[in-house]
Amino acid sequence: MRACARPSTISIATSAAKAAVPNAPIIEVQGLSKTFRTFKKEPGIRGALKSLVRREYEQVHAVKDVSFTVQEGEFVGFLGPNGAGKTTTLKMLSGLLHPTSGNARVLGYVPWERADGYRRQFALLLGQKNQLWWDLPASESLALNARIYGIPVAQAQKTVDELSELLDVRAKLNVMVRELSLGERMKMELIASLLHGPRVLFLDEPTIGLDVVSQKKVREFLRQHNTTRRTTILLTSHYMADIEELCDRVIIIDHGSLFFDGRLAAVIDRFADHKLVTLHSESAAQCPREHLERYGEIVALDADTVRLKIKRDRVIAACKALLDEIPVKDIDIEEVPVEDIIRQLFGTRCN
């Protein structure tokens, strides 16, 4: 029989919140750093014997001097490449890890002190870890969590009914968790995280591995929940569609350090120096490539369409010239996708 996973949501029960200073940030992070000491071993028997006598260690700086604040009700995207320190930061803000240095306060509490008043007001959802019991129906895990949180049975049932209806999984509540699809399981995980009505929600890759339909359903639910409940949400995701649809503000970290903190639109303005121009013309293929390359980089060229990446400050002049030289039926001007900008940005910083 497969062993059951322990719940990974760090939250206990609903209770009165610690009095907060009006207009104070819900999340305050100052100079937060986390360093791990890792053991280095040479391969083979020789390496094993050598490590018995003298071990070599390496300091890995997962998070380095990160500072930011988040106001109540904000939905903030937390971006960075693999190994940038996103999950480590969320674990420190959840009290799972103690920082090497720096300070943080969430809802007025120091997370790693693990005060009951704090644990009752936040939830952490890790997209790659289960919090529901694998061999039980989701309804039984939710009932257990409700008892742990001290939520009255009627209130818990009402919350489960509302959330399962919104996520379209009400008919699956009595199905074994191991028999649910990945999308259905993630929706149940969301219900478990929100059962006690947390004021702060940390989401680490909540849509990872989900199909397009399930991703969209989860995004719509999170948007609605944030709007109606004013829950403060910090979201990490490798799917830029999640960030673009849900977050006005993004915090970008790379190699453990804060790289950017601002509106998502500012990422485009600051780091995208090109626009994409698509011309629809029956004679597009007849135009020499050398001629088109005078205006910008050719992204695509077929019988009736040419797509160019043109410097932002040259777009107007280039379009005027192209309209004069090519019989154009239609023209589209659009920003470079945010996903491409982020990918290029991290690629440049890694080189």
CATH number at residue 330: 3.30.70.260
pLDDT on residue 208: 81
Do 99 and 247 lie in one domain? The reply is: yes
- Supply the range of the domain harboring residue 278: 273-335
Q: Within this chain, do residues 153 and 280 fall inside the same structural domain, yes or no?
A: no
In a domain, 345, yes or no: no
Mean of the pLDDT values across residues 316-321? Answer: 88
Same domain for 256 and 322, yes or no, is no
Helix 264-271 × helix 338-350 angle, to 10° = 60
Q: Which of 218, 239, 268 is the last residue of a domain?
A: 268
In a domain, 18, yes or no: no
Assess whether 258 and 279 both reside in one domain: no
- Same domain, yes or no: 242 and 327: no
CA-wise closest residue to 275 among 236, 233, 241, 312:
312
Instruction: Classify residue 14: in a domain, yes or no.
Output: no
- Share of residues in the chain with pLDDT > 90 (%): 40
* 112 domain residue, yes or no: yes
Pair (219, 234) in one structural domain? yes
The torsion region of residue 125 among left (phi > 0), alpha (psi -120 to 50) and beta comes to beta
SS3 state of residue 280: strand
How confident is the model at residue 26, as a pLDDT?
94
Mark whether 195 and 67 lie in a shared domain.
yes
Do the beta carbons of residue 67 and residue 79 sit within 8 Å?
Answer: no
- What is the pLDDT at residue 272? 73
Same domain, 164 and 228: yes
The answer to whether the CB of 278 falls within 8 A of the CB of 263 is: no
Which of 268, 291, 325 terminates a domain? The answer is 268
Q: How many structural domains comprise the chain?
A: 2
Do 69 and 191 belong together in one domain? yes
Q: Where residue 65 sits, what CATH number does that domain have?
A: 3.40.50.300
Q: Are the C-beta atoms of 230 and 71 separated by less than 8 Å?
A: no
Which pLDDT belongs to residue 347? 63
- Of 304 and 31, which is predicted with more confidence? 31
Full DSSP string of 291-332: HHTTTSEEEEE-SSEEEEEEEGGGHHHHHHHHHHHS--SEEE
Asked if 274 contacts 239 with a C-beta cutoff of 8 angstroms, the reply is: no
Same-domain pairing of 198 and 311: no
Assigned domain for 17 exists: no
Average pLDDT over residues 311-326: 85
Is position 68 within any domain?
Answer: yes
With a cut of 80, say whether residue 9 has pLDDT above it.
no
**Whole-number Å distance between alpha carbons of 160 and 195:** 7
Kindly give, in sequence order, each residue whose CB lies less than 8 Å from that of residue 260, ignoring residues fewer than 6 positions away: 250, 251, 252, 267, 270
Which among 224, 250, 268 is the end of a domain?
A: 268
- Mark whether 61 and 165 lie in a shared domain: yes
Given pLDDT bands bounded at 50, 70 and 90, which one contains residue 4?
very low
Q: Is the pLDDT of residue 108 over 90?
A: yes
DSSP state of 18: P
Note the pLDDT tens digit of each residue in 39-89.
777 787 877 777 777 777 788 888 999 999 999 999 999 988 777 889 999
Task: Determine the pLDDT at residue 285.
Answer: 65
Q: Is residue 63 a part of any domain in this protein?
A: yes
Identify any residues that bridge with 298 across adjacent strands, giving them in sequence order. 308
277 and 263 in a single domain? The answer is no
On whether residue 351 sits in a domain, the answer given is: no
Q: Which alpha helices (H) appear in the chain, and where do they start and end? A: 44-53, 86-93, 116-119, 138-149, 153-166, 182-194, 212-229, 240-246, 264-271, 289-292, 315-325, 338-350
CA dihedral sign of residues 241, 163, 87, 43: negative
pTM: 0.76
pLDDT score at 349: 54
Question: Can you tell me the distance from the alpha carbon of 292 to that of 319, in angstroms, rounded to the nearest whole number?
Answer: 11
